């Protein structure tokens, strides 16, 4: 989405060069009861706004060409953090504006984030705590040290960090530190947390996200 706060533009300057294409990108992480996750990246309304027709065509082909063979930025980014199953790329629309969906499966959501931080050069950690029928995902980012430029494909997954949502395959969310929970099964990073993240980056402090959910015996 283009309407939310652009705090991650700071990350882009430091970690990865921003692309020139216009597009709407959302990340949906489908959480399962065992802590595994299917990470889906949906890129819609993808087009170049170059005034020159030739440059516009070239820029768009640089995007859709690799997507057709599963070698575009989203796929390479997911591959860089070690998925536990082959990445799937679906080109829903191969004419401008393009529509591409890419997803990968990870056996543990915390390990996926740990690899993302490590590959992108961010100082951070993630843990998944389990107690009876409850899971708690804790994500910590530490901006205490200056960030350095990084050319890992994993940085592509940070370009729209504020547009990440978590969806439960079963159960319900019961708490979210830094999240808005518009429904029992969906949680999105709050605008308030994005603003606090910007303050943490400027103040070189650490910041956390915590998301807790429950799996009930009756399957609700």
Per-residue model confidence (pLDDT) at position 6: 42
Exposure string over 111-127, b if 16+ CB within 10 A, otherwise e: bbbbbbbbbbbbebbbe
Mean pLDDT is lowest, of 9-13, 33-37, 181-185, 211-215, for 9-13
| Full domain range(s) for residue 93 | 21-26+41-106
**Averaged pLDDT score across all residues of the chain:** 87
pLDDT digits (tens, 9 = 90+) for 149-168: 677 899 989 888 888 999 99
Q: Is residue 31 part of a domain?
A: no
For residue 154, give the nearest of 113, 210, 189, 111 by alpha carbon: 113
Model confidence band, residue 148 (pLDDT cutoffs 50, 70, 90): low
Average pLDDT of 70-83? 96
Shared domain for 87 and 154, answered yes or no, is no
Shared domain for 122 and 46, answered yes or no, is no
Shared domain for 202 and 115, answered yes or no, is yes
Average pLDDT of 66-73? 96
For residue 173, give the nearest of 213, 129, 136, 132 by alpha carbon: 213
Q: How far apart are CA 211 and CA 193, in angstroms?
A: 13
Per-residue model confidence (pLDDT) at position 174: 87
Domain count within the chain: 2
Exposure string over 128-138, b if 16+ CB within 10 A, otherwise e: beeeeeebbbb
Shared domain for 96 and 118, answered yes or no, is no
Shared domain for 115 and 75, answered yes or no, is no
Shared domain for 149 and 72, answered yes or no, is no
Q: How far apart are CA 215 and CA 55, in angstroms?
A: 51
Q: How far apart are CA 9 and CA 158, in angstroms?
A: 9
Shared domain for 164 and 210, answered yes or no, is yes
Shared domain for 96 and 164, answered yes or no, is no
171, 211 in Cβ contact below 8 A?
A: no
166, 176 in Cβ contact below 8 A?
A: no
Last residue of a domain, one of 60, 83, 106: 106
Contacts of 41 (CB under 8 A, 6+ apart): 25, 26, 27, 74, 77, 78, 101, 102, 103, 157
Shared domain for 116 and 196, answered yes or no, is yes
pLDDT digits (tens, 9 = 90+) for 89-128: 999 999 999 999 999 999 999 999 999 999 988 889 999 9
């Amino acid at each position: 989405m283009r309407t939310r706060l652009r705090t991650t533009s700071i990350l882009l300057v430091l970690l990865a060069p921003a692309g020139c294409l216009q597009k709407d990108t959302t990340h949906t992480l489908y959480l399962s009861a065992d802590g595994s996750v299917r990470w889906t990246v949906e890129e819609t309304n993808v087009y170049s706004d170059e005034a020159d027709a030739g440059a516009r065509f070239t820029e768009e082909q640089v995007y859709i060409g690799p997507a057709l063979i599963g070698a575009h930025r989203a796929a390479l980014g997911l591959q860089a953090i070690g998925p536990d199953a082959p990445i799937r790329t679906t080109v829903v629309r191969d004419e401008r504006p393009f529509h591409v969906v890419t997803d990968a499966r990870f056996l543990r959501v915390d390990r996926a984030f740990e690899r993302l931080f490590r590959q992108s050069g961010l100082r951070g950690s993630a843990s998944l705590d389990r107690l009876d029928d409850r899971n708690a995902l804790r994500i910590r980012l530490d901006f205490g040290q200056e960030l350095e430029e990084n050319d890992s494909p994993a940085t592509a997954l940070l370009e729209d960090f504020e547009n990440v949502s978590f969806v439960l395959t079963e159960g319900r969310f019961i708490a979210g530190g830094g999240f808005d929970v518009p429904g029992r099964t969906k949680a999105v990073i709050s605008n308030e947390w994005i603003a606090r993240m910007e303050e943490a980056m400027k103040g070189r402090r650490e910041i956390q996200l915590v998301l807790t959910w429950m799996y009930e015996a009756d399957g609700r």
